[in-house]
């Protein structure tokens, strides 16, 4: 069932009327959104084959390629824009079994206990399912559940209702609950021989590492404590398990206004629970805290009994290594850059990763591939130049697969030799893309009022000439980074495409990588008095606007702003606090009142500084500056949002109506935070372009605008 094509417009008095969406937009917008996004890429540890997911105009499919020619073959037959994702690709070690999750899955506190999302509003409730293919054969549904992990014997373990279940891969098996645990099971990991299963049992303010060792034996708990234990990883011989430990949840005793170290330690325990030893403790400093970058710790067990992990002890997210028996860690990747997308080579002797370094101008806003031994700081570059590469996936026979993009070519799977040479694209979805219409974004920097250097990417319209309207784009997260090219996240591939499209329509666009984002070090990501503790990041947005105003090609009186999630928050800030600068904005599912967002009063006698934190949270919100909001805004939100509650937009709309501030609404029933349907994005983008044109372009420039 298709959502009704209507745009809800709210008059300044707060009255809503329904106006039909205008006719089909011209080809350029659809063409700019016709990119193919490659999401996951996976390979087994002992076979030469790969699989990956593709998203093209709402249609999701899994592709498959094997040695020797690696000719891509579509494994699934997704033809509908139904919003049901394909994720969690997992091979058996020998590569015979490939399993995955089908369905719209979100993991955050707002999504717990909720059914599968239904963004297409079909009349039958969608489900979350496990599917599998054996030897590249026709896929079959094997169970309801998510998060499959395939054992050495080809048995699939998965999660359903927070418990572990197992099933065979051929579709003839009846799923069975493996064991009962009163916690919420996470991070399941088969032993190397496929006979035991390690897992995390989340108990709320603490968690345990457990080991299942058969139906006739009780669960073995590894050094249980009043701590948060996670990241279980097996030793190659299956005798030991390494894991990470942090203090149990004591947030009730801590102030959100003052940053304190969140240290962690690494432990090694016998898999039978007989012994456990702390082998390393991070320093009691902010930089010694558990890494809060996407992907987390990346704890792995390498050759020579070396434990490898990611930490920020030198101020950057880097790889470290230490002996499994203990000792001082070795910094494997020194330098001022961050490490992401880490995987271990099949022989466990080296790690492959992406990083924003390479020596070329602008590389801090790119990603390239590297390999480093697990026991010494000797990284070797596997890629470089002005493109972007991520998700290195080593194959058993020595080749290397990865995902690559450029400023004008969307992400695609590439196969190369082990040293990165001889890369060739593995074509899958045949799709023409208007690459010649894209501009090459320019890396720029400018200073915030407090002196901090802020990075951004500037999109300048082709042809130039005259004064142009301009836009600030602000990403969400906020631990994200916009790049000098296509992104490795599907949400930001869309943002990049839209910034390019807006540039093609005559806008100068500045994408601002404000403080709180990743890519520029831990201190940049964790600034003082930011977010709900003081809103320090907003000054970076204003600095970006001042930079735009200084450009000869920009009409300083016609600057707007757009962004989603945290970018929606900053869009609302801009309109509330600086309607003198920002003449219009488009706010996708933003936060508008921090005090409504996770600031429940402590349920105990000790209240700490809760009252002060609550006041600061509101003062750091757009709604605290609402009297100054004069510029028009388009509010866009899905009402099944499981990241930013829909009431954030309901509340703002009512407040804007009460003070006769101009706003419009575009609401999508049953859509979630990161819109799942191509049709949703297309409708939202058409509305955004019409709205921005109406408010930022003179009448003569609006002729024929869609």
- DSSP codes, 366-396: S-EEEEEETTSS--EES--SSSEEEEEEE-T
pLDDT over 80 at 653, yes or no: yes
pLDDT confidence of residue 14: 32
408 Cβ contact partners less than 8 Å away, ≥ 6 residues apart = 435, 436, 438, 440
Q: How far apart are CA 552 and CA 24, in angstroms?
A: 35
pLDDT confidence of residue 286: 96
Classify residue 410: in a domain, yes or no. Answer: no
Reported as a single tens digit per residue, the pLDDT across 142-164 is 999 999 999 999 999 999 999 99
Reported as a single tens digit per residue, the pLDDT across 36-73 is 999 999 999 999 999 999 999 999 999 999 999 999 99
What does residue 40 show for φ and ψ, rounded to 5 degrees? -95, 150
Least confident of 65-69, 254-258, 262-266, 698-702: 698-702
pLDDT confidence of residue 699: 66
Classify residue 554: in a domain, yes or no. Answer: yes
Reported as a single tens digit per residue, the pLDDT across 292-321 is 999 999 999 999 999 999 999 999 999 999
* Residues present in the chain in total: 706
- Do 288 and 273 form a contact (C-beta atoms < 8 A)? no
Classify residue 704: in a domain, yes or no. Answer: no
Between 284 and 14, the more confident residue is: 284
- Do 141 and 130 form a contact (C-beta atoms < 8 A)? yes
This prediction has a pTM of 0.94
pLDDT confidence of residue 431: 66
Q: Give the largest Cα separation in the chain, rounded.
A: 79
For residue 254, what pLDDT band results from cuts at 50, 70 and 90? confident
User: DSSP assignment of 162-214, as one string?
Assistant: TEEEEE-SSS-SPPEE----SSEEEEEEE-TTSS-EEEEEE-SS-EEEEEE--
pLDDT confidence of residue 564: 98
Task: Report which of 349, 332, 417 is spatially closest to residue 382, judged by C-alpha positions.
Answer: 417
Place of tokens 């130049």: 385
Task: Report which of 206, 167, 166 is spatially closest to residue 184, judged by C-alpha positions.
Answer: 206
Classify residue 655: in a domain, yes or no. Answer: yes
Reported as a single tens digit per residue, the pLDDT across 629-651 is 999 999 999 999 999 999 999 99
Average pLDDT on 216-234 reads: 97
Reported as a single tens digit per residue, the pLDDT across 540-598 is 999 999 999 999 999 999 999 999 999 999 999 999 999 999 999 999 999 999 999 87
**CB atoms < 10 A from the CB of 182, how many?**
8
pLDDT confidence of residue 253: 66
Classify residue 184: in a domain, yes or no. Answer: no
pLDDT confidence of residue 288: 97
For residue 505, what pLDDT band results from cuts at 50, 70 and 90? very high
Classify residue 702: in a domain, yes or no. Answer: no
pLDDT over 60 at 11, yes or no: no
Task: Report which of 197, 217, 199 is spatially closest to residue 208, judged by C-alpha positions.
Answer: 199
Instruction: Tally the domains of the chain.
Output: 2
Per cent of the chain over pLDDT 70 is 93
Element (DSSP H or E) covering residue 617: helix 610-619
Classify residue 682: in a domain, yes or no. Answer: yes
Q: How far apart are CA 389 and CA 524, in angstroms?
A: 24
CATH of the domain at 516: 3.40.50.1820
DSSP, res 625: G
Average pLDDT on 487-499 reads: 98
Place of tokens 């299942």: 212
- Do 517 and 502 form a contact (C-beta atoms < 8 A)? no
Domain range for 544 = 434-598+610-697
Mean pLDDT across the chain, nearest whole number?
92
Residue 537, sorted as left (phi over 0), alpha (psi -120 to 50) or beta, turns out to be alpha
Per cent of the chain over pLDDT 90 is 86
Place of tokens 């203090």: 247
258 Cβ contact partners less than 8 Å away, ≥ 6 residues apart = none
Average pLDDT on 390-397 reads: 97
Classify residue 244: in a domain, yes or no. Answer: no
* ω into 478 cis (within 30 of 0): yes
Strand boundaries in 448-548, DSSP class E: 453-459, 468-474, 508-513
């Amino acid at each position: 069932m298709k959502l009704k094509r209507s745009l809800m417009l709210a008059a300044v008095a707060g009255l809503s009327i329904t106006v039909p969406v205008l006719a089909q937009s011209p080809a350029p917008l659809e063409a700019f959104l016709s990119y193919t996004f490659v999401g996951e890429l996976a390979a087994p540890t002992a076979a030469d084959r790969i699989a990956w997911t593709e998203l093209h105009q709402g249609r999701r499919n899994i592709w498959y390629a094997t040695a020797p020619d690696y000719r891509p073959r579509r494994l699934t037959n997704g033809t509908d824009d139904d919003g049901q994702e394909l994720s969690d690709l997992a091979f058996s070690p020998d590569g015979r079994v490939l399993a995955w999750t089908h369905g719209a899955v979100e993991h955050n506190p707002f999504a717990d206990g909720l059914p599968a999302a239904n963004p297409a509003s079909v009349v039958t409730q969608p489900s979350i399912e496990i599917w599998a293919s054996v030897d590249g054969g026709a896929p079959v549904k094997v169970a309801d559940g998510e998060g499959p992990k395939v054992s050495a014997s080809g048995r699939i373990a998965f999660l359903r209702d927070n418990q572990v279940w197992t099933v065979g891969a051929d579709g003839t098996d009846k799923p069975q609950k493996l064991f009962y645990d009163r916690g919420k099971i996470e991070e399941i990991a088969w032993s190397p021989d496929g006979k035991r299963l390690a897992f995390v049992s989340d108990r709320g303010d603490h968690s345990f590492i457990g080991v299942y060792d058969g139906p006739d034996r009780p669960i073995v708990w590894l050094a249980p404590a009043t701590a948060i234990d996670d990241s279980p990883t097996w030793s190659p011989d299956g005798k030991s398990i390494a894991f990470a430990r942090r203090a149990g949840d004591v947030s009730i005793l801590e102030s959100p206004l003052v940053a304190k170290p969140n240290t962690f330690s690494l432990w090694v325990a016998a898999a039978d629970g007989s012994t456990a030893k702390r082998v390393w403790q991070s320093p009691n400093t902010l930089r010694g805290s558990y890494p809060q970058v996407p992907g987390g710790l990346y704890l792995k067990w390498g050759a020579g009994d070396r434990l490898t992990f990611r930490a920020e002890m030198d101020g950057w997210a880097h790889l470290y290594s230490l002996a499994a028996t203990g000792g001082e860690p070795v910094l494997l990747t020194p330098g001022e850059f961050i490490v992401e997308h880490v995987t271990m080579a099949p022989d466990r002797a080296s790690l492959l990763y992406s990083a924003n370094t390479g020596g070329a101008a602008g590389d801090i806003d790119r990603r390239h591939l590297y390999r480093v031994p697990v026991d010494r700081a000797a990284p070797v570059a596997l890629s470089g130049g002005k493109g972007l590469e991520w998700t290195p996936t080593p194959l058993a026979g020595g080749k290397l697969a990865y995902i690559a993009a450029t400023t004008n070519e969307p992400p695609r799977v590439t196969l190369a030799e082990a040293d990165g040479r001889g890369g060739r694209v593995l074509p899958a979805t045949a799709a023409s893309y208007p690459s010649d219409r894209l501009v090459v974004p320019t890396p720029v920097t400018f200073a915030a009022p407090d002196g901090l250097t802020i990075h951004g990417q500037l999109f300048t319209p082709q042809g130039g000439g005259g004064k142009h309207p301009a836009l600030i784009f602000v990403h969400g997260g906020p631990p994200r980074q916009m790049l000098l090219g296509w992104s490795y996240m599907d949400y930001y591939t869309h943002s990049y495409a839209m910034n390019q499209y807006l540039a093609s329509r005559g806008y100068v666009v500045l994408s601002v990588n404000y403080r709180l984002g990743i890519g520029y070090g831990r201190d940049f990501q964790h600034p003082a008095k930011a977010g709900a503790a003081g809103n320090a990041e907003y000054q970076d947005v204003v600095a970006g606007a001042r930079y735009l105003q200084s450009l000869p090609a920009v009409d300083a009186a016609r600057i707007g702003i757009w962004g989603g999630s945290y970018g929606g928050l900053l869009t609302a800030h801009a309109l509330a606090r600086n309607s003198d600068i920002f003449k219009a904005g488009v706010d996708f599912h933003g936060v508008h009142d921090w005090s409504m967002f996770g600031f429940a009063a402590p349920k105990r006698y000790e209240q700490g500084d809760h009252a002060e934190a609550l006041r600061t949270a509101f003062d750091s919100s757009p709604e605290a500056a609402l009297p100054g909001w004069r510029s028009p805004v388009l509010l866009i939100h899905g009402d099944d949002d499981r990241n930013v509650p829909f009431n954030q937009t309901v509340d703002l709309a009512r407040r804007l109506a009460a003070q006769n501030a101009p706003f419009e609404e575009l609401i999508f029933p049953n859509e979630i935070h990161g819109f799942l349907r191509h049709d949703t994005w297309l409708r939202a983008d058409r509305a955004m372009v019409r709205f921005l044109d109406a408010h930022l372009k003179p009448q003569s420039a609006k002729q024929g605008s869609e």
